[in-house]
Homo-oligomer: A and B are copies of this chain.
Amino acid sequence: MINRNSPATIDDVARHAGVSISTVSRVLNRNVPVSEEVVAKVEEAMRALRYTPRAAARNLATSRTNTLGLLLAEIVGDFFSPLLSGIESVAAQHGYDLLISTAGRRGPQNQLPGPFHKHNADGLLIFAGSLSDDGVRDTHSLGVPMVLLHQTPPDGLPVPCVTIENKAATRAIVEHLIVSHKRRRIVFLTGEPNNEDGSWREMGYREALTHHNIPIEPALIAPGHFDRHIAQTSIEQLLRDGIEFDGVFAGDDEAAVGVYAALRNAHLKIPDDVSVVGFDDQSLARVLQPALTTVHVPIDQVGIEATRRLMQLIQNEPTEVLTLLPTTLVIRASCGCPE
């Protein structure tokens, strides 16, 4: 027998088992009846030759890749692990692999990155901030199944979107500050300019204030960008400017860390002098002292739901256009409630 150094192919297996390659293909795919006896022979041959089918060949023949693409702005933050974990679990469950790529710090791109250019993935998961509206339109017009995460599709493009309930939760947590803790001058730290989550949260904030006849004061709205340093700087600036406030909606938990630092440096007590609340319920929310009152976000569910939608799309099943995952208030101590 000739010892080819390259890995075994379906031909080698067929020869070794004394059958045709079609038969081998059939036991590989189990989609057509094959006699017990032959199956055994073929499997034995596969084992002996350490055979393993070449993905590229099947992909070419079937024009499916069994691969999902995940496109992100960048790989950072506490939310990333649970999100990816959720995505991976559903993908694996359906027999799909996961390809990952980032748009990088250049911001949303108009084009898909090379890896995902059609045919490398059967479907795409697009996270907010990675692909511009033009990019989404373009990709969609190519007929690539895709779902958007934390990002609304442009115009009325029927691209499924999975995101979380931001507005109502923000309104609820801000109203908690107003009603339960008698706060009236509440700072709102924004997300980055084009961040949809941030925009919705700001609407919730405004609604809460308006509903309680508290005027919206522009001076109390400052940048937080979901970043602890930016948040800290903003609070320090407010303090320096002598702007009074008795509550802070930090935008997210990360930013709350910066708020804590700024307040501590100014010898202001949380929650006695200032109530502070976050958003996300990251693992550090429980670690902060006092424990942070925040909004719980089921980020792993976002990944799970988005991937399910994508699978439905790939299988040409109907699916929801908008999936809004519920968020819940988590009362801890930083608002003023007893722990």
A residues with CB within 8 A of B = 7, 50, 52-57, 59-60, 63, 65, 67, 74-78, 80-81, 84-85, 88, 92, 95, 97-102, 104, 114-115, 117-120, 142, 257, 260, 283-284, 287-289
Cβ contacts under 8 Å, A102 to chain B = 88, 92
| Contact between chains at B287 and A257 (CB < 8 Å) | yes
The distance in angstroms between the C-alpha atoms of A145 and B26, with both chains bound, is 30
Cβ contacts under 8 Å, A104 to chain B = 92
Residue A119 contacts which of B55, B65, B85, B284 (CB distance < 8 angstroms)?
Answer: B55
The distance in angstroms between the C-alpha atoms of A106 and B277, with both chains bound, is 38
Cβ contacts under 8 Å, A118 to chain B = 7, 52
Copies of this chain in its oligomeric complex:
2
- Some 22 contacts from A to B, beta carbons below 8 A apart, are A7-B118, A52-B119, A53-B119, A54-B63, A54-B119, A56-B60, A59-B59, A67-B99, A75-B84, A76-B81, A78-B81, A80-B81, A88-B101, A88-B102, A92-B101, A97-B101, A257-B287, A260-B287, A284-B287, A287-B287, A287-B288, A289-B289
| Contact between chains at A65 and B56 (CB < 8 Å) | yes
Residue A60 contacts which of B50, B54, B85, B288 (CB distance < 8 angstroms)?
Answer: B54
Residue A120 contacts which of B55, B60, B63, B88 (CB distance < 8 angstroms)?
Answer: B55
Cβ contacts under 8 Å, A80 to chain B = 80-81, 84
* The 4 residue pairs across chains A and B that have the minimum distance between CB atoms: A56-B59, A75-B85, A97-B115, A56-B60
The distance in angstroms between the C-alpha atoms of A82 and B104, with both chains bound, is 14
Nearest B-chain residue to A300, judged by Cβ: B75
Query: Shortest beta-carbon distance, A284 to chain B, in Å?
Result: 5
| Contact between chains at A77 and B88 (CB < 8 Å) | no
Cβ contacts under 8 Å, A81 to chain B = 75-78, 80-81
Cβ contacts under 8 Å, A56 to chain B = 55-57, 59-60, 63, 65, 119
| Contact between chains at A85 and B76 (CB < 8 Å) | yes
Query: Shortest beta-carbon distance, A123 to chain B, in Å?
Result: 15
Cβ contacts under 8 Å, A78 to chain B = 78, 81
The distance in angstroms between the C-alpha atoms of A272 and B227, with both chains bound, is 32
The distance in angstroms between the C-alpha atoms of A99 and B54, with both chains bound, is 16
Query: Shortest beta-carbon distance, A280 to chain B, in Å?
Result: 14
Nearest B-chain residue to A65, judged by Cβ: B56
The distance in angstroms between the C-alpha atoms of A78 and B287, with both chains bound, is 14
The distance in angstroms between the C-alpha atoms of A95 and B115, with both chains bound, is 9
Nearest B-chain residue to A58, judged by Cβ: B56
Cβ contacts under 8 Å, A60 to chain B = 54, 56-57, 60
The distance in angstroms between the C-alpha atoms of A63 and B114, with both chains bound, is 19
The distance in angstroms between the C-alpha atoms of A56 and B60, with both chains bound, is 5
Cβ contacts under 8 Å, A54 to chain B = 60, 63, 119
Query: Shortest beta-carbon distance, A227 to chain B, in Å?
Result: 12
Cβ contacts under 8 Å, A85 to chain B = 74-76
Q: Which residue of A74, A75, A84, A102 has the most chain B CB atoms within 10 A of its CB atom?
A: A75
| Contact between chains at A7 and B119 (CB < 8 Å) | yes
